[in-house]
Amino acid sequence: MSKGTVVLAYSGGLDTSCILVWLKEQGYDVITFLANIGQDEDFEAARKKAESLGAKKVFIEDLRSEFVEDFIWPTVQANAVYEDRYLLGTAVARPCISRRQVEIARREGAQFVSHGATGKGNDQIRFELTCYALYPEVEIIAPWRIPEFYNRFRGRKDLMEYAQQHGIPVPVTPRAPWSMDANLMHISYESGILENPKSHAPADLYLMTKNPENSPNAPDVLEIEFRNGVPVKVTNEKEGTSKDSPLEIFSYLNVIGGKHGVGRIDIVENRFIGMKSRGIYETPGGTILLKAHLDIETFTMDKEVRRIKQGLGIKFSELVYNGFWYSPECDFVRHCIAKSQDNVEGKVQLSVFKGQVYILGRESPKSLYNEELVSMDVQGDYDPCDASGFIRINAVRLREHHRLQGLSGTNSAKK
């Protein structure tokens, strides 16, 4: 008798194929779900593999457009960067995948969901917090946290032996000595030989971007048009080509950024679970958009609003990284950030060249830039004499601090 139905987040790889068969051994009916979020994958081969291994149903869902519009665009509006460097490509994909996994589970009457995330990483948290938020009654089966599973499969060798015993097709090409996760926004690399933080990344590791040294010797000049803080059109000014749908815009920026080696980082970051990890990331399109959005935002947004919004962007980045996309606080922060983008509208011209993005110019009907006011050659409505009082008022605090504490501190030191 079946223990119930489980929806497994399936990749078609060795780990989740073994998990599929193992779940069946435990007495579950298994539905597999594979999300297309822009990774290079043979989806039809994955379908056939899951069916051959006994999946009750196989769902392959194209989530690329909603990934861009519902998840990547809010990160662009937020200028979302975790710990000053990581553009959250994996973190922002997890709630997108989990949302659809839960929809399938509810529709199919499945009481359980399962995933192949390890017990040491962030992804287990991101997947499960989303599932619990959107399907509070769900039960989660996380094999890599179940002693009977992880004691049985202590490494890749054990998985390979299990696969051969159960007729699971095994990879015929040698495995790269690191793990990789790819989607439309980025590719991440970690583990294996990369766990030594001193070891340099091999030259053949990068799949999404060219080495800047080998990139073209002429730049691509782009114009990106924004409305409400999100890109609505990108034009290559030399070629005269343009893209205006969200998926096409982001895909095209990936191509241009990848061609010029933009968006590579090698960092050590702080995982939510409490340990540091080394990760290497390629985020070409996201890096171009971050530079462009920062520019148009500063051009059109009030200084004090932007100061508050910067703090919200940092908080948003932490919430997304830690898996709280569907928390009430993240919902509140997203709404505040979206409101801040009401007037973030206009066009940014930029050059993409040899691993860098260079801003060339910008224009906006909502600009707060007053050329006459700021000009050194035109006085306009500004009276320079007013600056004297402004400086004196701001100096009151500094004078008093150094008169009272600075002087006493000096005298104490002399004694």
Q: What is the DSSP string of 253-272?
A: HHHHHHHTT--EEEEEEE-T
Residue pair 39/13 in contact (Cβ under 8 Å)? The answer is no
Q: Among residues 18, 55, 287, which one has the least CA distance to residue 157?
A: 18
Q: Residues 47, 100, 123, 278: which is the catalytic one? A: 123
* 3-state SS, residue 62: strand
CA 19, distance to chain mean position in Å, is 27
- 242 has catalytic annotation: no
Distance CA 121, CA 110 (A): 26
Distance CA 386, CA 376 (A): 16
Q: Residues 47, 64, 94, 100: which is the catalytic one? A: 94
- 179 has catalytic annotation: yes
Q: What are residue 261's phi and psi, to 5 degrees?
A: 70, 35
Q: For strand 264-270 and strand 276-282, is the pairing parallel, antiparallel, or unpaired?
A: antiparallel
> Which residues have a Cβ under 8 Å from the Cβ of 146 and sit 6 or more positions away?
none
Partners of 113 in beta bridges: 7, 140
User: What's the half-sphere exposure (Cβ side, CA atoms, 13 Å) at 376?
Assistant: 0
Partners of 6 in beta bridges: 30, 112
Distance CA 213, CA 206 (A): 13
Q: Residues 11, 15, 188, 362: which is the catalytic one? A: 15
> Which residues have a Cβ under 8 Å from the Cβ of 27 and sit 6 or more positions away?
1, 2, 3
- 245 has catalytic annotation: no
- 62 has catalytic annotation: no
Distance CA 16, CA 206 (A): 24
Q: Residues 65, 179, 191, 367: which is the catalytic one? A: 179
CA 127, distance to chain mean position in Å, is 15
Distance CA 192, CA 178 (A): 4
Partners of 413 in beta bridges: none
Taking CA atoms, 340 is separated from 72, 75, 314, 344, 373, in Å, by 17, 13, 15, 8, 25
Distance CA 91, CA 39 (A): 15
> Which residues have a Cβ under 8 Å from the Cβ of 368 and sit 6 or more positions away?
299, 300, 301, 302
Residue with tokens 């009272």, as numbered in its chain: 404
The residues assigned a catalytic role are 15, 94, 123, 179
